[in-house]
Structure 1
Amino acid sequence: MSSTQIDSQVQVQTNKSSEAAFFDVLNSRRSVRKYDSSFVISEEEIREILEIATKAPSSSNMQPWRFLVVTDPELKQKLLPIAFNQQQVVDASAIVIVLGDLEMYTLSDKIYNATVAAGYMTEEVASNFINNSVKMYSSLPAERLKDIVIFDTGLVAMQIMLTARAKGYDSVPMGGYNKDQLKEFFNISDRYVPTLMLPIGKAAVEAHPTTRLSIDDITFYNGL
């Protein structure tokens, strides 16, 4: 067997191993609601989870997600009534509150100038993107802009959960909390839309597996 054939076989095996690991992350993610309250995820690792998650796509690369991370035990305890007394907000190592920035386009110059610095875009093209982004997003109807922001924060939230699972941690997406009380408690301005709370930590009790509808029940080809 030639060295080229050996290299090819090694590459195939590596690809299969990577694929299996990826599918294992997808299949092992569960919504966990009971956490080991003694387990601590370091701030450095939380930062890494968020950084990896922000590779998620977004409209015009506006990256409208903002993260309010709560790790302080006293603050988590005060979140409990806001989260309708769901104990996971106290016991999980960290709570990532995902916010959508309705004025994300104000950072378009920072986004596209960084793209130029990385060599991915010319200054002229970046300038056009900046001008078009500010003009378009600032003139959108409020509800349409909110829809875009919420959609994009959903994408990054899923990335957070999968990244956490790949690191051996657990999470649960929470839409069940009082958004008005949350905004008041943290003095969050109307610029930001609270979307999800994401507790992250180590499961104290393994989550129950769930079933999904058959693909045959939910998929249509070339029309309904």
Structure 2
Amino acid sequence: MSTAQAQPDFTTILRERHSVRHFDPSFRLGEAEIAELAELAGSAPSSWNLQHWKFLVFSDASAKEKLLPIANGQRQVVEASVTIAVLGDLEANRNAEAAYRPVIQAGAEDAYAGYSSHAALFAQIEEAYARDGGTYRRDEAIRNASLAAMQLMLAAQAKGLASGPMVGFDAEAFVRAFHVPPRYVPVLLVAIGKAARPARPTSRFPAERTIVWNGFEPDSSMT
């Protein structure tokens, strides 16, 4: 008989993931385990496959203590095994060549997301990133980094870990304290570790409250 622990199915992972605030400070994840979580998070989808994220990992006690006041004293920052700051890449267009190099080297000219060639694809990316004074690039950075952050939390849940996202931190102070280059914007913090107590129960709206079928009615007052 196998002694391997049965893995939960994906629906269970989704339903059992909750935002934990209290972590066991004695529990520690190794660097390889943290790196695996980041790798899984990095398999999230992204616009043009530009992978608009960077993970700033806080695993050392001194770094966590430095982060604590910036995170408004939220103790999970220091009590969790690791706190990961998910940053959005404002210059993700610079990732295009590296992201598509394997495809280019393989000569797979039909693999450029519907574009006739990688040159046409790259030109479209640069055009998008040059418009509207930077609004597009910021929206893309936050949007795509958020996809990776959610996948990070699901990966943690699948491995029997607890996680908790935090947006209550001083982004400007964070940038100064940890010398974040102007290329990146802090999106959120994710604490990961072993829960010391269960997450606070929360409710969710039923599907009928969140679904609108085929468009809103004219002059709809629906909220």
Shorter chain as denominator, the TM-score bin is 0.7 to 0.9
User: What is aligned with 2:195?
Assistant: 203
- Structure 2: distance between partners of 1:117 and 1:60: 18
How far apart in 1 are the matches of 2:200 and 2:125? 44
Equivalent residues of 2:91, 2:137 under 8 A apart = no
After superposition, the C-alpha distances for 1:11-48 in whole angstroms (9 at most, x for unaligned) are xxxxxx98x71111111101001000011111111111
User: Is the CA contact 1:112–1:129 (under 8 Å) kept in the aligned structure 2?
Assistant: no
2:169 paired with 1:177: yes
Structure 1 stretches of 4+ with a deviation exceeding 4 A read: 117-124
Does structure 1 residue 26 correspond to structure 2 residue 14? yes
Q: Which of 176, 186, 191 pairs up with 1:194?
A: 186
Cα deviation, residue 141, structure 1:
2.8
Question: Structure 1 regions of 5+ residues with no counterpart?
Answer: 1-16
Partner of 2:137: 145
Give, in whole Å, the separation in 1 of the partners of 2:152 and 2:10: 14
TM-score (norm 1): 0.86
Q: Work out whether residues 128 and 136 of structure 2, in 8 Å CA contact, stay in contact via their aligned partners in 1.
A: no
Q: Percent identity?
A: 40
Counterpart check, 1:81 vs 2:73:
no
Q: How does 1:81-100 map to 2 (within 5 A)?
A: 81-100=69-88
Unpaired runs of 5+ in structure 2? 1-5, 217-223
**What code does the residue aligned with 1:105 have?**
N
Per the TM alignment, residue 57 of structure 1 is displaced from its structure 2 partner at its CA by: 1.0
1:166 aligns with 2:158: yes
Supply the distance in 2 between the matched residues of 1:211 and 1:156 (Cα, whole angstroms). 24
Give the aligned CA root-mean-square deviation in angstroms: 2.0
Paired residue for 1:8? none
Q: Distance in 1 between matches of 2:132 and 2:153?
A: 30
In the alignment, the residues of structure 1 paired with residue 40 and residue 101 of structure 2 have an alpha-carbon distance, to the nearest angstrom, of: 21
More helix by share: 1
| Closer, same or farther: CA 56–140 of 1 in aligned 2, 3 Å | farther
